[in-house]
Structure 1
Amino acid sequence: MLNQTPLWKHILVILLIGMCALYALPNLYGEDNAVQISAGRNAVVDSSLLSRVEQTLNAENIDVKRVEFEDERILVRLKDSDTQLVTRELLERELGEDYVVAMNLAPDTPSWLEEIGGSPMKLGLDLRGGVHFLMEVDMNSAIDKALEDMVGDFRTALREEGLRYRTVRQESDHVVIQFRDEETLDSAEFFLKNRNRDLVFTEEDSLILEARLSEQRILEVRDYAVQQNITIIRNRVNQLGVAEPVVQKQGADRIVVQLPGIQDTARAKEILNATATLEFRMVDQDNDIRDAMDGRVPPGSQLIDDRQGIPQLLEKRVMLTGNHIIDAASGVDEYGIPQVNISLDSKGGNKMSQGTKDNIGKPMATVFIEYKATGDRDANGRLIFEKNEEVINVATIRARLGSSFRITGLDSPKEARDLALLLRAGALIAPIQIVEERTVGPSLGQENIDLGMQAIMWGLAAVLVFMLIYYKAFGVVANVALLTNLVMIVGVMSMIPGATLTLPGMAGIVLTVGMAVDANVLIFERIREELRDGRSPQQAIHHGYDSAFSTILDANITTFIAALILFAVGTGPIKGFSITLMIGLITSMFTAIIVTRYIVNAVYGGRRLKSLAI
């Protein structure tokens, strides 16, 4: 008999709708004002810190909803924003600079929903509030760093090739190599040109060979500097507990950072502005450190304090920089002693191998370098950065090292974890500065949400009333499908990890509400035509759905392709609009065709009908 739905389709429809409704449920629970505590560079978050935080809050009679400890961070949930501000200030005073204390908004999703992966939709900056930074990368420092690497590479390569030189030094935008005779210069030029095809070499007077970066290499250095900084900034943003941060490139040397839900702008700026790198250098054992401490530092060496403030005499020559590290993990050796296992890229592995082959049994230092903005600017208007260096580890080289090696001599597992974290975070290629800052308050974000919801509700109400009046009983079926469509959109948006709802995204939902009934209008009008042509109600329903399907599919495919192009070439708000539009098109096809037919078949299928309320 016509218009009978198989049992498996019943089960499939119910399961799909039920799953979407389940994952849409977390959006009903809202968010808590929260204060998050995470570890700084020389601290650790553990159960003892949790007890300390709870005691501090109890002593000050802070009204707390609950305190949670997970993922190496503590989250204090509070009842209102005023208590949140007081709590943040209290914990900052109590914990000091070793911990990052930041205000945030935390989803109040029940634990049973979280266990199955349920979480509310991620809201963009325009809806949730937060901060927007535009950061500029200091490209001059990036190019200087590339030239410094060239100096080290040239020295190593010429030494291995047996080509003697007087000096290799960096001068402004190029590297100068001075030789002893014309024959050596010619041999070195031929050797270096074949080895470095992305460099431009020119001979000068006085047996000097100059090497400059080609235009293509300069572009690559700049692009790599921006991409590397984006990766490190993402790692730093994780300290703030931002659910869906936006960190993306803008132009040639700028990075956009959007932190939805962050209310502590000062702390966000402090974390993002810090610029760090790592260097591996040999400890200078040929000179007396006491002479260096008295002011007689050898020309090729440098005094740098370790974390305990004890000076260490190191060679100025950098064996390896942290940008070659691709992975670092803490662990223990066969004797249970803490260590850090390091993995390098191929170029870094070659450098480490060449640098350690003649230094077995000698100590090597890991130097942490941080650049902090002083607040002053130079003549070009750029921020002036202050360079701080610190020796975080000195270990003895036991064997020739390559792409994988380990750092030993660590005092505790905590020190090993901290060092691994620093190494994994990588090295910013160049300092960055914040050139633009905008703050979207939670009240403005809530206003956007309210206005967007009003638009959705008014649009939905208008469509529901029209369908109910014009198509009667079938209008009720279309309205049920339309409401189901909204639930499915919210559910799918909540399930997709990278999907973020923005204000343009809400516009996409409004558009989807109007488009969702297009399919039902086509189907219902086709059923009316079949009835006017004298077909029976059951035949009219069957032919109405079958005949309209190809038209509906064509219309939605063309719209989906347009939305896909918007997603591919667009950025920010345009992507948000296209994502909700694509999701809405898929769910509306499902609800308008499958769900409505499921309902119509359940109500009218298998019955003898004389007429239809359509």
Structure 2
Amino acid sequence: MLISALPNLYTDKVKLTLTNSGEHQQQTTPKYFKDILAQANIPTDEIRVSNDEIVITLHEAADQKFATESLKQQLADGYQVTSSLTNEAPAWLNAFAAKPIKLGLDLSGGVLFVLEVDTDRAQADRIKNIGQELKAIALENKIRAVNVSPLNNHALTVDLTRASNEAKDTLFPQITKTYPELSIKKEQEHKYLLSYTDEAQQTFRQETMKQTLKTMRGRIEELGITEAITQKQGKNRIRIELPGVHDPAEAKRIIGATASLEFYQLASNTAGFGVIHIKDENGRQLALNGKAIFSGSNIKNAVAGRDDMGQPLVNLTLDGIGGKKMSNFSKKNIGKPMATVFSEFYRNADNQMLKTNKIINVATIQQHLGSQFSITNLSSHQTAQELALLLRAGSLTAPVTIVQQRSIEATLGEANIDNGIKALTVGVSITLLFMAFWYRSLGLVANVALGLNLLSLLGLMSLLPGAVLTLPGIAGLVLTVGMAVDTNVLIFERIKEELKRGRKTLAAIESGYNNAFTTILDANITTMITGVILYAIGYGAVKGFAIILCLGILTSMFTGVFVSKALTGLLVRENKAQLLGVKS
């Protein structure tokens, strides 16, 4: 625990590395770069200049963005600026791969997003797709007069009044094979209701939320943010905390983008059955067959690149299902066009969910394609990179919109840390003085155990990958101090009672520790249950408090009972004439 806690004594520093682009030489004295940053009120710790590069260590990590912008503005194209985060811990400590405690949003500063997932819209789209699937099956089997109409978000009606007698036996088995969770009920003669049960609807919503959470975590990983917290909040919302992020626009562009990608065949008959009309980037209205060939959910990987002529493209790799669909389609449609449709959801001024579709690419299928092919004719390389990022991270099946966004400055986080440490210092100091004054020699044992308890708690927080320290977590640390001391108070008062009953000192100590343990265990178990419930149903700051509370119970049990008993045994090796103010 000591080794795990030591990295918290050292801070992370941002280093900016300036590499000369070779276009022209500029003055390269440390004072020159220090003056540039001083004009922007950005303090530095160190500036090292060599023939190849200049390394600037910033005093505050939050100044990274502003420092980079100031240097690029002043130096123009003379230097390339890259940044890196390094810890000041010595090499021997880094050899243990120990890391400092991860700080939450309220301590390190950053951005908070709350997203709303429209599961009802996703279910309505699914019902719509089932209706199109039914119509497509009817066309393939040359069944006429099949009337399909959505009833609500989870049901549709099928009217076979004017269809052939074989229609029911042909259509429904294929639909139930593809959608086994769908129930078919006969409403009237030749009229049927296809619907999802309440249980199937609940399962669909849960699966949609899980898929959206997975997609959002993938996008955050693509942004390179490793300390993010992404969790479900309420019924259909997702809470995303991005500690240390000081450019909310960059994060919002990726996280807030609810992009989906689908591939369609251009319709030969613009007024045909199931045809949809979508505009391309040039404003032209194109007609597409209503059924998509495959969607972005079938994409395994997407990498931006350039073709032989230097034009931007995105290389796609599909999964087995998507590859099979693409293979079957391209084999039958060589020489025919295929459109790539990019869709996004957003809320208007009236808080209504709207969907925009645009065709980003129309290409002619030149050959039989498989699970790997490219999207070309993109406007820029940046567009290709952003599209590849979104597709790698996953295509959303449900519309997602940002309903809350809040930025916390790093300076506020530093103030929270300072105030929290002051509160912890005052609480610990008063506790140490009280224990030393009231219990004398055994009070010193309790104080040593308390110090070891805090050390163990910090070590555990640093060691566990999912543990994040928040401002309420610091409050949990102060509470843990009281709980740890409470353990020793129970033991020492029990020892005092045994001494008053006439027991010898060593026997009273042994009896005190043994008999108080049951009471201490019961009290800590009930508190642990509360902490587990808080962690299970809470989010954000509540979760941070619960983590500290639960870990503090474990460490205080260990140090307050076992460690303090060992220390007491070392301090009191023989029967004393007086202990805790009671003569034996």
Question: TM-score normalized by structure 1?
Answer: 0.70
Question: Does the Cα contact within 8 Å between 1:29 and 1:108 map onto a contact in 2?
Answer: yes
The match for 2:566 among 598, 602, 610 is: 598
Equivalent residue of 1:183, what SS?
A: coil
Give the corresponding residue for 1:70.
Answer: none
Task: Verify the 8 A CA contact 1:223 1:252 in the aligned structure 2.
Answer: no
**Does the CA-based 8 Å contact 2:111-2:242 persist in structure 1?**
yes
Map of 1:21 onto structure 2: 2
- CA deviations over 1:1-33 (Å, ceiling 9, x no partner): xxxxxxxxxxxxxxxxxxx12111222223446
Is 1:509 aligned to 2:488, yes or no? no
Alignment-mate amino acid for residue 352 of structure 2: R
In structure 2, the residue matched to 1:276 is 259
**Is contact 2:137–2:171 with CA below 8 Å preserved after alignment?**
no
- Which of 214, 239, 242 does residue 259 from structure 1 map onto? 242
How much does 1:478 deviate? 0.9
Question: Match for 1:343 among 303, 309, 319?
Answer: 319
**Contact 1:33/1:105 (CA < 8 Å) preserved in 2?**
yes
Task: Within 5 Å, give how 1:101-112 maps onto structure 2.
Answer: none
- Tell me if the contact between 2:449 and 2:560 (Cα under 8 Å) persists in the aligned partners: yes
Match of 1:322 among 285, 290, 296: 296
Does the residue aligned with 2:100 lie in a helix, a strand or coil?
coil
Q: Do the aligned residues in 2 keep the contact of 1:133 with 1:434 (CA within 8 Å)?
A: yes
Distance 1:90 1:132, change over 3 A: same
Matches within 5 A, 1:383-462: 384=354, 386-391=356-361, 405-407=371-373, 422-462=390-430
Maintained 8 Å contact 1:319/1:352: no
Quote how far apart the aligned CAs of 1:444 are. Answer: 2.7
Q: Does the 8 A contact of 2:144 with 2:164 survive in 1? A: no
Q: Does 1:164 align with 2:143?
A: yes
Question: Which residue of the partner structure matches residue 198 of structure 1?
Answer: 182
**Aligned counterparts, 1:549-564, within 5 A:** 549-564=517-532
Aligned CA distance change for structure 1 residues 186 and 535 (closer, same or farther; 3 Å): closer
Instruction: Extract unaligned runs of 5+ from structure 1.
Output: 1-19, 36-46, 68-74, 331-337
**Aligned equivalents of 1:53 and 1:245: distance in 2?**
38
Is contact 2:345-2:401 (8 Å) kept?
Answer: no
> Partners of 2:528 and 2:94 in 1: how far apart?
32
1:485–1:588 Cα contact (<8 Å) kept: yes
Give the Cα–Cα distance (whole angstroms) in 2 for the partners of residues 111 and 55 of structure 1.
37
Q: CA deviation at 1:489?
A: 0.8
Q: Which residue of 1 aligns with 2:163?
A: 181
Query: SS of 1:275's equivalent?
Result: coil
Whether the 8 Å CA contact 2:316–2:375 is kept in 1: the answer is no
Instruction: Normalising by structure 2, report the TM-score.
Output: 0.73
Shift of 1:460: 1.1
2:456 match: 488
Aligned twin of 1:119: 99
| Kept in 2: contact 1:27–1:121 (CA 8 A) | yes
Decide whether aligned partners of structure 1 residues 447 and 88 sit closer, same or farther in structure 2, where only a CA change above 3 A counts.
Answer: same
Change (3 A) 1:28 1:365: farther
Matching residue of 1:6: none
- The equivalent of 2:110 in structure 1 is 130
**1:165–1:177 CA contact under 8 A, matched in 2:** no
Query: CA shift at 1:586, angstroms?
Result: 0.9
| Residue in structure 2 matched with residue 9 of structure 1 by the alignment | none
The 3-state SS of whatever aligns with 1:433 is strand
1:136 corresponds to which letter in structure 2? E
The one-letter amino acid of 2:295's match is T
| Alpha-carbon offset, residue 590 of structure 1 | 1.1
Tell me the distance in 2 between the aligned counterparts of 1:58 and 1:138: 56
- 1:576 matched to 2:544? The reply is yes
Match of 1:147 among 127, 133, 136: 127
SS class of match (1:263): coil
- Is the 2:275–2:287 contact (alpha carbons within 8 Å) kept by the matching residues of 1? no
CA RMSD of aligned residues (A): 5.1
Task: Determine if the alignment matches structure 1 residue 567 to structure 2 residue 535.
Answer: yes
CA contact (8 A) 2:121 2:398 kept: yes
CA contact 1:339–1:416 (8 Å) conserved in 2: no
The equivalent residue for 1:236 is 219
Query: After the TM superposition, which of the residue ranges 451-460 and 184-193 deviates more from structure 2?
Result: 184-193
Amino-acid identity (%): 33
One-letter code of the match for 2:182? D
Output the CA distance in 2 between the equivalents of 1:221 and 1:468. 60
| In structure 2, C-alpha distance between the alignment counterparts of 1:22 and 1:171, rounded to whole Å | 63
Helix, strand or coil for the counterpart of 1:360? helix
Distance 1:122 1:187, change over 3 A: same
Q: Secondary structure at the match of 1:257?
A: strand
Q: More displaced, 119-128 or 102-111?
A: 102-111
Deviation at 1:476, TM superposition (A): 1.0
Q: Does 1:371 align with 2:344?
A: yes
Q: Does the C-alpha gap of structure 1 residues 398 and 116 become closer, same or farther in structure 2, counting only changes over 3 Å?
A: farther
Q: 3-state SS of the aligned residue for 2:559?
A: helix
Q: Residue type of the partner of 1:79? A: H
8 Å contact 1:472–1:613 — kept in the other structure?
yes
| Structure 2 residue identity aligned to 1:150 | I
Aligned to 2:307: none
Report how far residue 270 of structure 1 moved.
1.9
Superposition deviation, residue 428 in structure 1:
1.2
Query: CA shift at 1:109, angstroms?
Result: 5.0
